[in-house]
Amino acid sequence: MSIQLGPSKLEQPVILAPMSGITDLPFRRLVRGFGVDFAVSEMIASVGVVSGNRLSRERAISAPDEGLRVVQLAGCLPDAMAQAARLNQDHGADVIDINMGCPVKKVTRGHAGSALMKDEKLAGEIIKAVVKAVDLPVTLKMRTGWDEQNRNAPTLAKIAEDAGIQMLTVHGRTRNQLYNGTADWRFISKVKAAVSIPVIGNGDVTEVKDAADLLEQSGADGVMIGRGTYGRPWFIGQVDHYLKTGEQLPDPKMSQQFEIVTAHYDELLSHYGEERGLRTARKHIGWYSKGLPGSAEFRGKFNNIDNVKEAKTALDNFYQPLLERQAA
């Protein structure tokens, strides 16, 4: 199973989902180290890109060693979306992804994200504008619909294909579900039947076998994983290996996990600076440590540390007994 996107060929597509506040450059680099070719940026507001907003520019930052650079844009103004796509192309993007799936209120209140599924005409205009603006593959991420009574993903998928979209990703929930309930993988098969371009399935892949089940039930051409990577950047690599071989790889040994955690911590400090890097690291350290002995007490202490050296010492002290137990 492979997907051709412009000059790039994705073998056995297992993709890192765009996640605001998560899939920054340090996290994408980390996940790519486990064999992932396609890692999408955080959602970037198109109006912010056009106006030169600092946060929007920052989220679009990539690196020469990052491989395929995939930038996701959000917005409801066709001209702004087109201009933002051109600017990102000029700054080295390889793929532009359009966000029509974000369910968060502050996005949908602005008629962006999954709110665009309620306005197929405007959605189509945005897609056409972006496709026309760049000489890059353009992809689209959406949900099954706004609510249970309006699951129009197959219709929007066909509109997108006719407008030049080269790949679709469908999260198997409606916007109104947010992240409640379960993802409807079988519904994704209706999108797959409506178009001839590749369709990627997304939602509720937290174990390696979930990916195989999603592909079987949806008929999708690949799988996108988001929240399943929290505290487990190696998980996508495990999924990729399982789909290729049928073998389930074990989690990294505690010594390897500690190396991953500390490398991620150092990268965040380098990328954001000490103060902001430490704030950003807190959520990741919380996910990494979840379920380990003494983790609740450790997180309570770590989240109240404002000095990077003290934070690193606390991290070392938490993992040291776990490493000694592994070595015994």
> What's the whole-number average pLDDT of the chain?
94
Q: Which residues of the chain have pLDDT under 70?
A: 1, 12, 328
Every domain of the chain and the residues it spans: 2-245, 254-327
pLDDT of res. 328 = 62
Residue among 83, 150, 84 at smallest CA distance from 116: 150
Q: CA–CA separation, 204 vs 211, rounded Å? A: 9
One fold for 2-245 and 254-327? no
Please name which of 284, 291, 294, 283 lies closest in space to residue 318, comparing C-alpha atoms.
294
Give the pTM. Answer: 0.95
Structure tokens at 136: 């890059």
How does strand 138-145 pair with strand 39-45? unpaired
- CA 126 to chain CA centroid, Å, is 21
Residue for token pair 């890059």: 136
Neighbours of 122 (CB within 10 A): 15
Residues whose CB is less than 8 angstroms from the CB of residue 28 and which lie 6 or more positions away in sequence, other chains included: 16, 39, 41, 66
pLDDT value, residue 37? 84
Other Cβ atoms less than 10 A from the Cβ of 306: the count is 10
Residues 2-245: name the CATH superfamily: Aldolase class I (3.20.20.70)
Active site residues: 102
Span 254-327: which CATH code? 1.10.1200
pLDDT, one tens digit per residue, over 41-87 is 999 999 988 887 777 777 777 777 777 899 999 999 999 999 999 99
